[in-house]
Amino acid sequence: MKTRTTVMVLGLVMAMVFCYAGIVGADSSWATGADAESGGAGASADLNFQIVIPSFIYFKVGSVSGVDTVDFQPTPNDVATGAATSATSGGTVDVVLLSNAGQITIDEANNGGGNGLSDGGTNYISWSQIVATSSVPGLDPPQLSDIGVNTSIIATTSGNITDKNTQWTYVYNNPATPPVSGIYTGTATYTAAIP
Residue 17: the pLDDT is 44
**Of 93, 94, 194, 102, the residue nearest 156 (C-alpha):** 102
Please check whether residue 53 is in contact with residue 100, taking contact to mean a CB–CB distance below 8 angstroms: yes
Q: Can you list the domains of the chain with their CATH numbers?
A: 57-193 (2.60.40)
Rg (CA), the chain: 35
Residue 10: the pLDDT is 45
Residue 39: the pLDDT is 64
Q: Which residues of the chain have pLDDT under 70?
A: 1-26, 33-40, 148
**Of 167, 170, 160, 174, the residue nearest 69 (C-alpha):** 170
How far lies 55's CA from each of 14, 58, 81, 101, 104, in Å? Answer: 53, 10, 50, 5, 12
Residue 156: the pLDDT is 80
> What does DSSP assign to residue 118?
E
pLDDT in tens, 121-174: 999 999 999 999 999 988 999 999 998 677 788 878 888 999 999 999 999 999
Residue 78: the pLDDT is 97
Q: How many CB atoms lie within 10 A of CB 174?
A: 21
Q: Output the CA torsion 60→63→64→67 (10° steps).
A: -90
**Can you tell me the distance from the alpha carbon of 51 to that of 110, in angstroms, rounded to the nearest whole number?**
40
